[in-house]
Amino acid sequence: MGGVSVLEDWLFKFPENIYINIKEPIDGAIDYMLRNWEPFFDVITKVLRSMLSGIGTFVELIPWWLLISLVFIATYAMSRKILRAILYSVLLFFIGAIGLWDLMNQTLTVVISSVIISLVFGLPIGILISSSKRANAVVRPILDTMQTMPSFVYLIPAVMLLGLGNVPAVIATTIYAIPPVIRLTSHGIQQVDVEVVEAAKSFGATKAQALFKVQIPQAMPTIMTGVNQTIMMAISMVVTCSMIGATGLGTEVLIGINRLESGTGFAAGIAIVIVAIIMDRLTQGIIREESAPNE
Amino acid sequence: MNEVKNNNIILRVENLTKLFGTKKTLAREMLKKGHDKEEILKHTGVTVAVNNVSFEVERGKVFVLIGLSGSGKSTVVRCINMLQPPTSGKIYFEGQDVESFSKSELLDYRRNKVSMVFQSFGLMSHRNVLNNVAFGLEIRGVKKSEREERAMEMISMVGLKGWEYSDISSLSGGMRQRVGIARALANNPDILLMDEPFSALDPLVRQDMQFELLSIQEKLNKTVIFITHDINEAFKLGDTVAIMRDGKIIQIDTPEGMSSNPADDYVRNFINSADKAQIYCVRSIMQTPTCLVRTRDGANHALKQMKINGVSSAFVVAEKMQFVGILTLENALKVRAGELAYQNAFIRDLPTTTPETHIADLIPIAAEASFPIAVVDENNQLSGIVTKASVLASLI
Side chain identity at residue A133, one-letter code: K
pLDDT computed for residue A88 by the predictor: 94
The pLDDT value recorded for residue A294 is 41
pLDDT band at A291 (very low <50, low <70, confident <90, very high): low
The angle subtended at Cα B367 by Cα B362 and Cα B370, nearest 5°, is: 110
Q: Which chain A residues touch B126 with a CB distance below 8 Å?
A: 217-218, 220, 293-294
Contact residues, chain B, for A209 at CB < 8 Å: 139
**Cα Dmax for chain A:** 84
- Is residue A4 over pLDDT 80? no
Asked if B135's CB is within 8 angstroms of A217's CB, the reply is: no
* CB-based burial label for B159 (10 Å; 0-12, 13-18, 19+): middle
Contact state of A204 with B167 under an 8 Å Cβ cutoff = no
Distance CA B285, CA A170 (A): 64
Kindly indicate the confidence band of residue A292, based on its pLDDT and cuts at 50, 70 and 90: low
Residue A210: is its pLDDT beyond 90? Answer: yes
Predicted pLDDT of residue B285: 79
Torsion sign, CA atoms A156, A161, A163, A168? negative
What is the separation of C-alpha B231 from the centre of its chain, rounded to a whole number of angstroms?
11
CB atoms B140 and A193 under 8 Å: no
Angle at CA of residue A51, ends A112 and A96, nearest 5° = 45
Give pLDDT, residue A16: 81
Q: Does B389 touch chain A (CB under 8 A)?
A: no
Alpha-carbon dihedral angle through residues A218, A219, A222, A226, given to the nearest 10 degrees: -140
Interface mutation target, options A193, A195, A196, A203, chain B, most CBs of B under 10 Å = A203
Report the CATH fold assignment for B282-395. CBS-domain (3.10.580)
* Domains of chain A: residue spans and CATH: 20-61+98-294 (1.10.3720.10)
Q: What is the pLDDT of residues B2-60, one digit of tens each?
A: 444 567 899 999 999 998 888 888 888 888 887 888 888 888 888 888 989 999 999 99
pLDDT of residue B142: 92
Residue ranges per domain, chain B? 9-113+189-274, 282-395
Question: Are B130 and B166 contacting, i.e. CB atoms less than 8 angstroms apart?
Answer: no
Nearest to A196 among B83, B124, B167 (CB): B124
Count of C-beta atoms within a 10 Å radius of residue B174: 18
CB contact under 8 A, A196 and B126: no
Are B267 and B244 contacting, i.e. CB atoms less than 8 angstroms apart?
no
Q: When comparing pLDDT for A84 and B284, which is higher?
A: A84
Distance from CA of A291 to the nearest CA of B (A): 8
| pLDDT tens digits for range A190-209 | 999 999 999 999 999 999 99
Decide the pairing of beta strands B352-353 and B323-328: unpaired
Which phi and psi (to 5°) does residue A46 adopt? Answer: -65, -45
Q: Which of A198, A220, A295 sits opposite B122 (nearest CB)?
A: A198
Worst-scoring range by mean pLDDT, A24-33, A108-117, B260-269? Answer: B260-269
Chain A with chain B: Cβ pairs closer than 8 A: 74
User: Of A63, A74, A48, A292, which is closest to residue A162 (Cα–Cα)?
Assistant: A48
- How far is the C-alpha of B317 from the C-alpha of B309, rounded, in Å? 17
Question: Which residues of chain B are within 8 Å of residue A205 when distances are taken between CB atoms?
Answer: 139
One-character DSSP codes across B178-241: HHHHHHHHHT--SEEEEESTTTTS-HHHHHHHHHHHHHHHHHH--EEEEEES-HHHHHHH-SEE
pLDDT of residue B263: 87
Query: What's the average model confidence in pLDDT over A96-104?
Result: 94
- The fold of B9-113+189-274 is Rossmann fold (3.40.50)
Tell me which residue of B93, B65, B23 sits closest to B247, measured CA to CA: B65
Polymer length of chain A: 295
Report the alpha-carbon angle A232-A234-A237, nearest 5. 110
Whole-number pLDDT of residue A54: 94
Among the partner residues A193, A196, A203, nearest to B139 by beta-carbon distance: A203
- Which ranges of chain B have pLDDT less than 70? 1-6, 274-280, 395-396
Beta-carbon contacts of residue B40 (< 8 Å; ≥ 6 apart): B27, B30, B31, B46, B48
